[in-house]
Every structure is written in C-alpha cells, then in structure tokens.
Chain A
C-alpha cells in the first residue's frame, strides 16, 4: 500500500465487513470479502452490493453542455431526454478510445459523465480541452460515493427504500430520489449483466446509505461483492474493460462498438478517422474465447491459427456461471475472425479455444 493510495469514503465499513483490500486505480478497493465465486453467484441469483466509489463523476453544466457533449462523445446524446442515459465512448482525433463512459442527462443544462477511475485525470483534462468555455466542467469524483446493487433481487430490496416510487424507472433511466434522509441519484445501470441500480451518493451519506441497503437486503441475502467478482461478472456479460479490451490503441469499430458511433448525428471528435477506418476496413476484431480444456485464460496470452500468431487476449478469467469454464476476450486478425476455433498458448502449451461473438452469459429476460 503506497502512500499515494487513497481511501474511499466507505473504507472503514469494508474493514468491518472483512474485505481484502487491494490498490486499484490509485484507490484502496475491496477486492473480495470472502469467496469471489460465491460473490459472483450471489449477484447472479440474488443481489450483490458493490462499492464503486472509485469511478469518476464529471458534471457538464450550462446551456452549451449538449453541443459540447456532442463533440466529445461518439454516441448521439441529443436523443436523450431528462432522466435518460446512454453508453458511449470518447475518441481521440485518430479514432482511439480515450475512455468509455455513461452519460446521464439530468436536465438539458446538467449532465453527469461516469468515467473510469484509472482515466479520470486524463479524461477531465481532455473534457476541459474539448468543452472549453462552452460549459462548466466540474470533476466531483471526490464528493460522490457510488454503490451498485445488482442482481434479480436488486429491485425488491431497493424500491421500497426509495422515494419517490421508482418502480417504473426504465433501464438506463436516472432519477433524483431520497433514501431515508439522504438525497441521491438512482440509475438503472450496471456492469454485471444483471438488472439493478447504481446509486450516486454524496460522500457524507455513503455510510448510512450502505447500512440501510445492507439492513434491508439481509432478508434477501444481499452480499457485499468485491472488484474481483465485478470482473468475472462483466467478463461473462462481455462488457469491455478500458485499459484491457479497449484503449487509445483500439478503435470502436474493431472493438465491436460501432453501435455507439452515430455518424448521422453531425461532427464529433474522431469522426473523420472512424469514417476512414470503416471505409478501409479494420485489420483485427474483438472476439470472445472459451477454453475447451482445463486451464485459465489470461490477458496477454497469444492466439494462434496453426503456427501463426493471429492475435492475443486482452482479458481472461473464470466464468462461474458457465460451470467454471475459462473465458476471455481479445483481438484476432480479421482474416481469422470468422474461425470457429483457434489455439491459445498458455505457458508454452497450445490449447484449443472456441471463438464467439456473443456474450458468454445472458440473463433470462
């Protein structure tokens, strides 16, 4: 633990809950409380509670915010109404992915951008550069805690605690609400492949809100979940991780994120580059992989077709919801991207992997 590692508002609660802490993106984060596999299953079958206060909260405010955002991100935020959110990326002029983020429209002059903790400082500098004086950019990351309640019982646990009634809050909807005496933002978003909420909570209210959720969730088996299970959950759901699966060195077309790039919305940063990439075609594509023998896929392992290396993994791990199979994501050369089977090299041994374009796990609708 270096002195540069910062503590989150709920640090003492994590200690009390028996968390094993680990440094992540400059914060001391709960890696796991008990068994990662059990935390994973608890989220899939009941409700998992995650402290994701490390995430960055950046607000854009003012009448010029919408126009500035349209420049900044690739998706079309003009489609949003108050209380709606969308997933997007922001690209460099070269089309590289600076970060992926969720943009929440709280009001036409009040927008919340939830960005990755590891990229926060770089993101904020970039956002300020792009936005200029068209809107106010406020990095309020240190003032907000964030809890995610995810799983099939998340609604059962949270809805009775919230006022007003958010029964009808749609997926990717966001609303101001109160939990007891505490004002917070409630979003029906997440990073697990399950239904649930993300709560944006003023840091001073983080402890009482956590306590209230744990208390109300006890009868429903609510389980604190650490970062390790957050990773297995997101990987099964094929949700990408910036820094691993996407980065400034990758573009949204090869990453399979063309659906968040709206060429029809007008100019935005990276548009020309992405148009060229589309016309020229990509050289590699993101794919999912399932190891067909025992073992564990890890980021960085090379992928082969025959004797030729055709790509490498960007994420890997266990899939507890797929009988403990090992799964991964990675890029392969476009000419082998339609193969059904490739080989991965694990410590000098070649083992077969099935290639897939789909999420490894999808919850029952």
Chain B
C-alpha cells in the first residue's frame, strides 16, 4: 500500500484522482498511481470535449482497463480547457506515467478556493489505507 506514489505537491480526491495547480491557474487532472495499478492495463480513455463545464463530482469520462471500467469525476467545478490527446491515442500512458504524461484533462476552476477543498497527500494516503 505504501509503495504507491503520492506526490506531496498534488491534491487528491477519494475517487483516486489527482490535481496539480499550474501557473496559469488551470488544474491538471489525472488518476493516481494506486488507481492505475488497481485497474491494470488501461486500454482506452474517453475524455470530454473542451469547453464543457462540469459540476463538482460530475462524471466527465471513463477509463477502461482489461477487466473493468471506471468513471472519472470532476474533482472541482470548472470548464474543460484541454484534454490529453496523447492518452486518447495510447491509454497505456496512464499506467506508465500516471502523474506525468498520463494526465487526462486541464480544468479552469470556477472558484479560486476550489483547490483547498481537495485532499492533501496525507489525506489521500489515509483514503488508500482505508481500502475505500
């Protein structure tokens, strides 16, 4: 359990997604190392159109693995500013580099303090360890 990477500079959700605050104010969103490992080989990612607005917790896409699929939920409300075309082309990037090249979307958050609503690394580690 402790082997999974949980970078301290990111924020997280209990749905095993991560967010990174970029200099331009956008949040880059992906799924965690724990999530990619639990899913196994990820074969396909279905991502939203750019420009779509999402409410907090709204489903915005799906990642499919060999055995199952998993819905993606917006960690915060906002507008989809960009999606990762490379992941749509080759979803195994998520397995190989969940916090890097395997990012999914960039979101323009609706509110300034959205970031503060997310779990920090310690909070997410607690979620992982609770087996939720």
Interface residues of A, Cβ cutoff 8 Å to B: 20, 31-32, 35-37, 228-229, 232, 294-296, 298, 317-318, 324, 326, 347
Contact = CB atoms under 8 A, between A and B. Distances in A.
B64 A32 contact: no
A317 B66 contact: yes
Contact of A36 (B40, B64, B88): B40
Given A35-B41, A294-B88, A347 B66 contact: no
Contacts of B67: 31, 36, 228
Contacts of A326: 43-44
B81 interface: no
A294 B92 CA distance: 14
Given A326-B43, A326-B44, 11 more contacts: A20-B40, A35-B95, A36-B67, A37-B92, A228-B66, A232-B66, A295-B46, A296-B64, A298-B69, A318-B41, A347-B62
- Which range contains the number of B residues in contact with the other chain? 10 to 19
Contacts of A232: 66
Nearest to B59: A347
Contact of B69 (A20, A228, A294, A296): A296
A36 B66 CA distance: 7
10 contacts: A31-B40, A32-B40, A36-B67, A228-B40, A228-B67, A229-B66, A295-B44, A295-B46, A296-B43, A318-B41
A305 B5 CA distance: 46
Interface in B57-109: 62, 64, 66-67, 69, 88, 92, 95
- Which of A20, A232, A294, A326 gathers the greatest number of chain B CB atoms within 10 Å? A294
Interface in B23-48: 40-41, 43-44, 46
Contacts of B62: 347
Contacts of A31: 40, 67
Contacts of B64: 295-296
A37 B41 contact: yes
B43 A318 contact: yes
B40 A35 contact: yes
A28 B64 CA distance: 24
Nearest to B37: A20
Nearest to A31: B67
Contacts of A347: 62
Contacts of A228: 40, 66-67
Contacts of A295: 44, 46, 64
A324 B46 CA distance: 16
Nearest to A318: B43
B15 to A, nearest CB: 18
A294 B66 CA distance: 14
A317 B92 CA distance: 15
A58 B88 CA distance: 48
Contacts of A37: 41, 43, 66, 92
Contacts of B95: 35
B31 to A, nearest CB: 16
A98 B62 CA distance: 36
A205 B44 CA distance: 41
A326 B91 CA distance: 14
Nearest to A294: B44
A13 B40 CA distance: 21
A35 to B, nearest CB: 5
Contacts of B69: 296, 298
A347 to B, nearest CB: 7
Nearest to B66: A36
A229 B40 CA distance: 11
B73 to A, nearest CB: 15
Nearest to B38: A20
